[in-house]
Amino acid sequence: MAAICIRWILLQSALIWCSQAVFNRPNEIKLENNEYTDVLVAIHKDVPEDQRIVDRLKEIFTEASRDLYVATNNRAFLKEIKILIPNTWTKKPEYRPAGTKTFERANIRVDVPNPLYGDNPYVQQKGGCGEGGDYMHLTPQYVVDKPYGEMYWGPNGKTFVHEWGHLRWGLFDEYGFDGATGESYPHFYRASVGDVEPTRCSAKVAGNSQHMVTGESCQLIPATGVYESECRFYPDFRGNRATASYMFMHFLSQVTGFCHSDPEGDPLSYHNREAPNKQNVMCNGQSAWDVMNKHQDFANGANPPREIDSTKPNFVLLQESDFFRVVLVLDVSGSMVGGEISLLNQVATRFIRNTVPFGTSVGVVTFSSTASIRHPVVSINSEAIRNDLIAAVPTSAGGRTCIGCGLRKGIEALETAGPPQGAVILLITDGKDSSPYVSQVLPDLLTKEIIVNTIAISQNADDKLESLAEGTGGLSFFSGSGDSIALDNAFTATSEGKGVNLLSEQQTISGRQTYANHLYVDNSVGENTTFSFSWLDGSRPTVMMVTPLGLVITEGNPIYDIKSDTITIKIPATATPGKWAYNITNNDSGNQDITVIATSNPVNDNEPITVSAQVSSASLDYSSSRPTALKIFASVRRGYLPVIGAVVKVRIEKPHGEVEEVTLLDNGAGADLTKNDGIYSRYFLGFTADGRYGVSIRVDNSQGKAEYIVINRARSNGALPMDPGTGYVNDGNVQREPLKQFQRMTTGGVFEVRGVPSGGINTDMLPPSRVNDLKVVNVSYADATVTLSWTALGDDFDQGGPAHYVEIRYGRNFDQLADDFYGSASVNHSQVLQGSLTSPPEPGSVQTIVILVPDRGDNVTFVFAVSTCDEADNCGDPSNVVSANLEYIPEKSALPLAMIIISVFGVLFVLFAILGCIICYRRGYLQKWSGSDNPICKV
Q: Which residues are catalytic?
A: 163
User: Rounded to whole angstroms, how far apart are CA atoms 433 and 831?
Assistant: 66
Q: Parallel, antiparallel, or unpaired: how do β-strands 679-684 and 630-638 relate?
A: antiparallel
Count of beta carbons in the 10 Å neighbourhood of residue 467: 18
Q: Rg of the chain over CA atoms, in angstroms?
A: 30
Q: Which of 717, 667, 923, 736 is nearest to 117 (CA)?
A: 923
Residue 731 neighbours by CB under 8 Å, 6+ apart: 715, 716, 717, 719
**Residue 912 burial class via C-beta count within 10 angstroms: exposed 0-12, middle 13-18, buried 19 and up:** exposed
Q: What is the DSSP letter of 77?
A: E
- Cα-to-chain-centroid distance, residue 299: 26
Count of beta carbons in the 10 Å neighbourhood of residue 510: 13
Helix (H) or strand (E) holding 324: none
> Following DSSP, what letter does each residue of 399-458 receive, concatenated?
S---HHHHHHHHHHHHHHHS--TT-EEEEEE-S---SSPHHHHHHHHHHTT-EEEEEE-S
Q: Which of 507, 497, 738 is nearest to 600 (CA)?
A: 497
Question: Three-class SS of residue 478?
Answer: strand
Q: Render the burial of 211-245: b for 16+ CB within 10 Å, e for the rest.
A: bbeebeebebbbebbbbeebbbbbbbbeebebbbb
Q: Which of 173, 235, 171 is nearest to 204 (CA)?
A: 235
**Phi and psi at residue 280, in whole multiples of 5°?**
-70, -40
Q: Which of 374, 376, 474, 497 is nearest to 426 (CA)?
A: 474
Would you tell me the crossing angle of helices 51-71 and 156-169 to the nearest 10 degrees? 70
Would you tell me the crossing angle of helices 438-447 and 403-417 to the nearest 10 degrees? 20
Q: Residue 189 region, left (φ>0) first, then alpha (ψ -120 to 50), else beta?
A: beta
Cβ pair 14, 487 in contact under 8 A? yes
Count of beta carbons in the 10 Å neighbourhood of residue 759: 8
